[in-house]
Amino acid sequence: MTFLFSTAFPLLTGFLLMNWLGPWTGPPGEKALPKLLLGAGLGVAASSCLTFAGLFFLPMGNTWQFLLEGVVAFVLLILVVGISRRRGTPLWRGGSENSAGEGIGLPRAAVYAALLLATGLAAASFWHISSARPHGNWDAWAIWNMRARFLFRDSEHWRNAFSPLLSWSHPDYPLLVPASVARIWRYMGGESTLGPSLLAGAFTFGAVVVLVLSLDDLVGRPQGALAGLFLLSSSSFVRHGASQYADVPLGFYILLANVFLRMSADGERKYGTAALAGMSAGFAAWTKNEGMLFLVAIAVSMAIPLVFSRARKAGFQRIAGFGAGLAPVAAVIAVFKTGLALPSEMLLAQGTATLWGKLSDWERYGTVLRNLAGEFASGYPMILLLAAYAFLAGVGASKERRIGVMEVFSGLMVMLLGYIMVYVTTPHPLQWQLDNSLGRLLTHLWPSFVFACFLALNSPFARDAGVPATGCAEVLRGRESRWKGKAPRAGRSR
């Protein structure tokens, strides 16, 4: 079996989940490419859950792996076809509308050409780093890929990967990445450095794809392409992706959950899309322990519409859908945490008195904040460019978009505050912990931060927000119109 065959189940599963629960109510064949690409991350995570479930409950060899995936894909296919017939929609309908309601045009084409060029340069950089370190950086071969080797090599004694003798390798970490790597090796018929590298590349550039497709749908072209360019301009994001750590995959699922959460407010299938958001948030928790904090953060996000919007019934329906999507993934995590994982060292390494002493030490807070500011200045200087773009393009003024942006930003703030408290209370030397992990932790938040910013801002080529913007460009247009004795034109409604 080759790597190509290993992609069939994730792609098919994600596509079917998008058809069943996704935001678009057309025939299964409509918007096929966005469904396929947005759903791919769901399929990868679902296949890792199946790999773990097979190992835990079955004598899991390659035959069991392939049979289990085939059965799941067949059941999903029957569900999608049956639901499509019940709704009276055909399997395919030709033609689909542009999300902005217009042709691409030369200026927009130039933006997409620039995105293509930037992607090529980033891919070359990714390949160079991967070639220089085919086994990834320290945590890749000492934690993630090592655990994948236990899962792949010995279906009888794979639980030894969680032995107390390996406590230095964080046996409390979830298994999305190791299980995915082990699954790829099963299809390839042996261990290869190519499998983990391709998986890391899929998550790195998959985040760009999610940004492009979601923002083009929510705001209009070419907003997604601009966001993708901005994400790729962060060299640290590509570098951390090539390291084969789980940080970029975690950032990918945090982004995917935020995208589906936003689409559940604006899309046609609010309950189903909220279920996809819950599923994605669960997959974030299945990727790294920090994903558990994200579950708290996204719960805060979902409370925002209940406070600032009158559509509270719709808000509670979204919460119900979110919980329904989260439940099966939470069950997998519960089995892993109670049946295999060792307790986290962050919880057991210090007593109450020591913990309180760190919490009341203001110098530790100052150290964390200084390092945080320094990391932003050195690793993310393009924030200044984003501020200039915001000044020129203006911010969308519609209430729905403001609430959506508040949702995402509130969750990111909870995550950031949680990380600050983890550093303040760490049982390890504080500066050592900051030097070795702060840049990677910001990678968790960066894609969603870019998504929230470009969700808030207007497209420079078309006024797709439906409400006049506030920004330098609008002020200049208004002054020019008054100089000519004309009133400014109203924004175009989508």
What is the pLDDT at residue 301? 86
- pLDDT, tens digit, 9 for 90 and up, residues 442-458: 999 999 999 998 888 87
Minimum mean pLDDT range among 79-88, 162-171, 405-414, 416-425: 79-88
Give the other-Cβ count within 10 Å of 84's Cβ.
17
CA pair distance 8, 72, nearest whole angstrom: 13
- For range 299-324, the mean pLDDT: 80
**284 falls in which pLDDT band (50, 70, 90)?**
very high
242 with 131: CB under 8 angstroms?
Answer: no
80 SS3 class = helix
SS percent in the chain: helix, strand, coil, step 5 = 75, 0, 25
Phi-psi region of 220 (alpha: psi -120 to 50; beta: other; left: phi over 0): left
CA pair distance 480, 494, nearest whole angstrom: 25
Q: How far apart are the first and last CA of the chain?
A: 48
Burial of residue 349 (CB within 10 Å: 0-12, 13-18, 19+) is middle
Contacts of 378 (CB under 8 A, 6+ apart): none
DSSP string, 235-290: HHHHHHHHTT-SHHHHHHHHHHHHHHHHHHHHSS-HHHHHHHHHHHHHHHHHH-TH
**Maximum pairwise Cα distance, the chain:** 82
Among the listed residues 321, 439, 468, 455, the one whose alpha carbon sits nearest the alpha carbon of residue 377: 439
**66 falls in which pLDDT band (50, 70, 90)?**
low
What is the pLDDT at residue 105? 52
Task: Indicate the pTM of the whole model.
Answer: 0.87
Phi, psi of 98 (to 5 degrees): -65, 140
- pLDDT, tens digit, 9 for 90 and up, residues 68-115: 667 777 676 676 666 555 555 554 454 444 444 444 555 677 888 888
In whole numbers, what is the pLDDT of the chain averaged over residues?
A: 80
Minimum mean pLDDT range among 47-56, 98-107, 268-277, 395-404: 98-107
pLDDT at 308 over 70: no
